[in-house]
Structure 1
Amino acid sequence: MTHVAPVGGTAVQDHVALAEIELCGDLIIAASAAQDRLSLESIDEVLKVAEERDASHRA
């Protein structure tokens, strides 16, 4: 017997997974626009690492 997901408003959103997908997309866009490999600093900038670090220190 095959189970099929019902059609309609039963979708569950995983906000963490959606955020990770968005970050991956941002990295892909940055990498495709770059002339060379992205540096670690560039990756941190795309992922907004410094902003998150500053926000965690303020909390």
Structure 2
Amino acid sequence: MYVAGHRPTTVQDHVALVEIDLTGELMIAAAAASEDRLSPDRIDEVLEVDGEDGDRAEGVPPRRGTAGRCPG
């Protein structure tokens, strides 16, 4: 019987980790919201983007825990 070797656990998909983090932030905001849906403005605020072009909002500090985050 062949047993596959153990893969190192140090390989990470940084983009996927950022997406998971952002999804979690949206879920927390949705759970705390009094309305049925988050408005587009609230989503932008939670994701720390500014409007339609998706740039970071001015004056908004970088998200905590995003050291090593892939620029994109």
Question: Given the two structures, how large is their TM-score scaled by the length of structure 1?
Answer: 0.71
Query: Do the aligned residues in 1 keep the contact of 2:49 with 2:55 (CA within 8 Å)?
Result: yes
Gaps of 5+ in 2: 58-72
| Alignment RMSD | 2.5
How far residue 53 of structure 1 moved from its aligned partner, in angstroms, is 1.3
> What is the identity percentage for the equivalent residue pairs of Structure 1 and Structure 2?
54
Equivalent in the alignment of 1:32: 31
Higher relative contact order (CA 8 A, sep 6+): 2
Gaps of 5+ in 1: none
Which structure shows the bigger proportion of residues in helix conformation? 1
Question: Given the two structures, how large is their TM-score scaled by the length of structure 2?
Answer: 0.60
Regions of 4+ moved over 4 Å: 1-5
How far residue 6 of structure 1 moved from its aligned partner, in angstroms, is 1.4
The one-letter code of the counterpart of 1:21 is I
Task: Report how many aligned residue pairs link the two structures.
Answer: 52
Which structure shows the bigger proportion of residues in strand conformation? 2
Distance 1:46 1:53 in 2: 13
Q: Structure 2 vs 1, CA of residues 6 and 39 (structure 1 numbering), >3 Å: closer, same or farther?
A: same
